[in-house]
């Protein structure tokens, strides 16, 4: 980084802008390399992981698996059939957590699920049973399933079942209830339970009949279209929901079900722009499952939150969780709610960002930046920044406004630590208090701690033979 | 445009770039004004029209009317009811034209319509009757209707009926048949006629029942959404079609019609991404009708083509047509077709550009530029160029990628002649030979002659008292 006067001299600078500025003032040609010091305390582990001979190849293999996974909606079934859930066995979003550390919205959703399953007659009774430790909790991710927000699944809830016939995996997700006062945001009032019963008795069976009649619906293909139609697949799924409806309609109409039920199902699906989220999520889960388990790979395969902890998993480290405190999103609030009403970040829906859409595809959904208080140039800048964190792109999901460049895909733990930039997640915000429901929507990032502990574990896992 | 050395001197330059360059080389601050000489031969008329005291106010009033018009789908009815069409009375696209000057696709569509109406048993018989002058032809525009491509309407075809309750107007358009071998592209084979009969017997009545049950569907609102979903409303209406379907579905399902018919109707609509075009067009017609008839206004209120002539109408001149030769579009061809197979530009669908979408909203539909062989930056540049031709913007139709700027709206005849730039239209291409059908899709512009003759008529219409 020395300079001198003389024709033909070009200096490469890295890091602090003042070097380049000073050289230019002296008439010296400069090439700037974007560089910032790595996150303090991670340098040694980072060096060890970056020198791992297996890394580049393992990351390329993980990316190839992720971007080649299929995701076909093949069935809709109750959770007790699909996932063998027993009575009193509940799934939840994010990494493992016990009742005593659970936040309001997760508690609220469990209270609602206990009542819905008929295990208690009132919310108070349900809460007492939960306090007494009568039930079993397990992350949905541990069974290959995902759930938005609280992500609570009980045995009589119906699940979408998706299949990846390239890698032979299956994944599941519950059916979307709509917005506002709904179980996944921690509400459990009688109307919430009533809606869940209708979903169990009418919606689920109708979707099963229609789905089976279609012979399978290609969810990856619908996502490819929705990112060309102003949806980013996480907080905006308007086009996706309509395209799903289009696929299901002929079979639904010819199903032989009562006309009133068919009309109710169609209205329920088409009036809820988020309905398709619960199909994007398990599709993304199949992609990230395919990318999992490549020794030496530093690609993130899960980002999930239980409302208290944010947890990530990394391809080279299998199912191990690396956690840190979940953050409160920065965004816009419904009605009179404000930051004090919001619970920290919750839900498995960050699986969409893990697979390269949602916040990573902000550029394609400028309409959504208004929802979270940003501008169109913010949206473009966000997607461009995410390319710097990722090992590659997904050519199947092309963003028109970036001249059909593929979505930024495969978050690299080392890139996060080297740049100090965090993945951006679009999210809904649940009320802090059990029973409240949704209070807003906004932008959030994982805590850096997740990546700091992941790099230490990755470094410890580098075999001597693979070190350069 | 004189220059001198001295601090503080700033020179405004207009036209040829070399003036500004030369000044800058001498260290003189310059402000460049984009200017090019007007289209030769129009200077005197242009000056007279631009000095018309009424012009600015009349154009503002025309724009206000255009952007405030309502367009509600209120009914679906056969043309003999809606437009009082008699047997042997046919509507067609574009300005008036006799049989002898009609191009292949318009002849083909008329042959098909004569057979469909049962006025002839074979295409040969129909052609002989047409040659003999047995029938009456009239531009759809003359009855407040519009038709894509050949735009042929006969009495038993069903029409969408739209109402503008702000200005009290009605407009109509036929139902879209889908792509490929269809009447509007000049095809008239037995399968084309068969499809028209099914549309008459099943589709039309089903849409009537559903539309009447909805109590009216706001087409302006759907267009506001589709321009945020990758559609430009002319050659791409994928999101629009799905949103229309969503509005019609509950009533369609509860209609009491046979399940098989309902399923067929839903499949027909949802499998045709262009179905909604035939609702965008009459909505745009209502907007431009509202803008029509403001004395002194130079806003274009119609652009329409019959495949031989391109015609425009101008607000200040009422229903008078100003025509020039229709051009062949520049674009991509289906299969083995090439430029020699294409008929010059045809159809009333340029009413979408007249109302500010279609080619004018290219920026919002980058996916479509691939279809016509362009790039994303072409799409942005096109929309930006169209702002220079227009008197204003339509705040109801906001383009996310331009930070939610309204669509460029209200083509000003004087701006076209002053800049030499022509409105850009996205269009389908019909085969030159009757019976062939669609051969491609691309970009086209009106001939400058339309604007040249319009400015002469506008100049002649300026009252002495209004001249400055």
Per-residue pLDDT of chain A (468 residues; tens, 9 = 90+): 344 444 567 887 776 677 778 877 887 887 776 677 888 889 999 999 999 999 999 999 999 999 999 999 999 999 999 999 999 999 999 999 999 999 999 999 999 999 999 999 999 999 999 999 999 999 999 999 999 999 999 999 999 999 999 999 999 999 999 987 899 999 999 999 999 999 999 999 999 999 999 999 999 999 999 999 999 999 999 999 999 999 999 999 999 999 999 999 999 999 999 999 999 999 999 999 999 999 999 999 999 999 999 999 999 999 999 999 999 999 889 899 999 999 999 999 999 999 999 999 999 998 787 777 678 888 999 999 999 999 999 999 999 989 899 999 999 999 999 999 999 999 999 999 988 889 988 999 999 999 999 999 999 999 988 887
**Cβ–Cβ of B245/A242 closer than 8 Å?**
yes
Phi, psi (5° rounding) for residue B171?
-145, 165
The pLDDT of residue B1: 39
Q: How confident is the model at residue B15 (pLDDT cuts 50, 70, 90)?
A: low
When mean pLDDT is compared across A9-18, B193-202, B317-326, B439-448, the lowest value belongs to A9-18
Assess contact for A162 and A174: CB atoms under 8 A.
Answer: no
The CATH number of B46-66+292-466, from 3.30.200.20, 3.30.300.210, 3.90.850.10, 3.90.1700.10, is 3.90.1700.10
Of B141, B446, B427, the C-alpha closest to B322 is B446
Q: Cβ neighbours of residue B382 under 8 Å, at least 6 residues apart?
A: B359, B360, B362, B363, B424
Give Cα separations from A265 to A235, A262, A272 (angstroms): 22, 5, 11
Give Cα separations from A131 to A109, A112, A117, B140, B319 (angstroms): 14, 14, 17, 73, 78
d(CA B227, CA B236): 10
Take residue A34 and report the two structure tokens written for it: 């974007």
* Chain A nearest-CA residue for B251: A263
**Cβ–Cβ of B263/A242 closer than 8 Å?**
no
Domain boundaries, chain B: 1-35, 46-66+292-466, 68-281
Among B229, B263, B376, beta carbon nearest to A401: B376
d(CA B420, CA B245): 41
Per-residue DSSP letter, A180: S
Helix (H) or strand (E) holding B48: helix B43-50
**Cβ–Cβ of A254/B263 closer than 8 Å?**
yes
Phi, psi (5° rounding) for residue B354?
-60, -30
Take residue B309 and report the two structure tokens written for it: 């002539």
* Chain A nearest-CA residue for B250: A263
d(CA A162, CA A356): 19
**Distance in Å from the first CA to the final CA of chain A:** 27
Q: Quick check: do B46-66+292-466 and B68-281 share a fold?
A: no
Among A242, A250, A367, beta carbon nearest to B246: A242
ipTM confidence score: 0.89
Give Cα separations from A467 to A252, A388, B1 (angstroms): 58, 25, 71
* Interfacial A residues in 233-252 facing B (CB < 8 Å): 238-239, 242-243, 245-246, 249-250
d(CA B451, CA B459): 12
Min Cα–Cα distance to chain B from A244, Å: 10
The pLDDT of residue A4: 43
* Interfacial B residues in 417-456 facing A (CB < 8 Å): none
Per-residue DSSP letter, A262: H
Min Cα–Cα distance to chain B from A74, Å: 21
Assess contact for A318 and A333: CB atoms under 8 A.
Answer: no
CATH class of A68-281: alpha beta
Architecture of domain A45-65+292-466: Alpha-Beta Complex (3.90)
Assess contact for B134 and B90: CB atoms under 8 A.
Answer: no
Give me the DSSP letters along B341-389. Answer: GBPP-EESTTHHHHTT-GGGGGGG-HHHHHHTT--HHHHHHHHHHHHHH
Give Cα separations from A389 to A247, A383, A421 (angstroms): 35, 10, 8
Q: Cβ neighbours of residue B464 under 8 Å, at least 6 residues apart?
A: none
Question: pLDDT tens digits for B20-53?
Answer: 788 778 878 877 766 778 888 899 999 999 999 9
Helix (H) or strand (E) holding A266: helix A259-270
- Residue A228 CA, chain-centre distance (Å), reads 20
Question: pLDDT tens digits for B404-416?
Answer: 999 999 999 999 9
């Amino acid at each position: 980084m020395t300079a001198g006067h003389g024709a033909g001299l070009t200096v490469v600078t890295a890091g602090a802008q003042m070097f380049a500025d000073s050289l230019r003032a002296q008439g010296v040609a400069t090439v700037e390399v974007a560089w910032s010091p790595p996150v303090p305390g991670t340098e040694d582990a980072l060096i060890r992981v970056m020198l791992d001979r297996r890394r580049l190849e393992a990351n390329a293999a993980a990316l190839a698996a992720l971007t080649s996974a299929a995701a076909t909606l093949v069935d809709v079934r109750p959770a007790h059939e699909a996932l063998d859930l027993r009575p009193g066995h509940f799934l939840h979003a994010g990494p493992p957590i016990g009742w005593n550390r659970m936040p309001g919205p997760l508690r609220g959703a469990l209270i609602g699920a206990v009542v819905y399953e008929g295990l208690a007659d009132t919310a108070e009774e349900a809460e007492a049973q939960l306090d007494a430790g009568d039930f079993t909790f397990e992350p949905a991710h541990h069974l290959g399933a995902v759930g938005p927000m609280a992500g609570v699944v009980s045995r009589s809830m119906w699940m979408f079942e998706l299949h990846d016939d390239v890698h032979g995996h299956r994944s599941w997700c519950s059916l979307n209830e709509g917005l506002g006062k709904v179980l996944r945001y921690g509400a459990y009032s009688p109307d919430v339970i009533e809606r869940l019963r209708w979903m169990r008795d009418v919606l689920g069976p109708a979707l099963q009949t229609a789905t089976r009649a279609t012979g399978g619906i290609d969810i990856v293909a619908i996502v490819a279209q929705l990112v060309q139609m102003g949806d980013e697949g996480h907080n905006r799924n308007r086009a996706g929901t309509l395209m799903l409806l289009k696929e299901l309609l002929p079979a639904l109409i010819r199903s032989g079900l009562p006309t009133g039920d068919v009309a109710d199902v169609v209205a329920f699906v088409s009036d809820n722009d988020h309905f398709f989220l619960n199909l994007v999520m398990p599709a993304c889960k199949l992609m990230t499952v395919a990318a999992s388990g490549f020794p030496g790979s530093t690609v993130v395969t899960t980002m999930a939150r239980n409302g208290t902890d944010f947890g990530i998993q990394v391809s080279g480290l299998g199912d191990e969780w690396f956690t840190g405190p979940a953050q409160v999103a920065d965004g816009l609030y419904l009605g009179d709610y404000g930051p004090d009403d919001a619970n920290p970040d919750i839900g498995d829906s960050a699986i969409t960002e893990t697979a390269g859409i949602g916040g990573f595809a902000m550029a394609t959904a400028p309409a959504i930046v208004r929802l979270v208080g940003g501008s169109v140039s913010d949206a473009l800048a966000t997607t461009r920044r995410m390319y710097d964190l990722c090992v590659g792109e997904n050519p199947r999901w092309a963003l028109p406004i970036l001249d059909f460049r593929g979505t930024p895909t495969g978050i690299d733990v080392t890139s996060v630590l080297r740049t100090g930039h965090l993945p951006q997640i679009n999210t809904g915000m649940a009320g802090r208090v059990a029973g409240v429901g949704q209070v807003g929507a906004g932008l959030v990032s994982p805590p850096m701690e997740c990546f700091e502990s992941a790099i230490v574990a990755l470094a410890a896992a580098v075999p001597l033979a693979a070190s350069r």
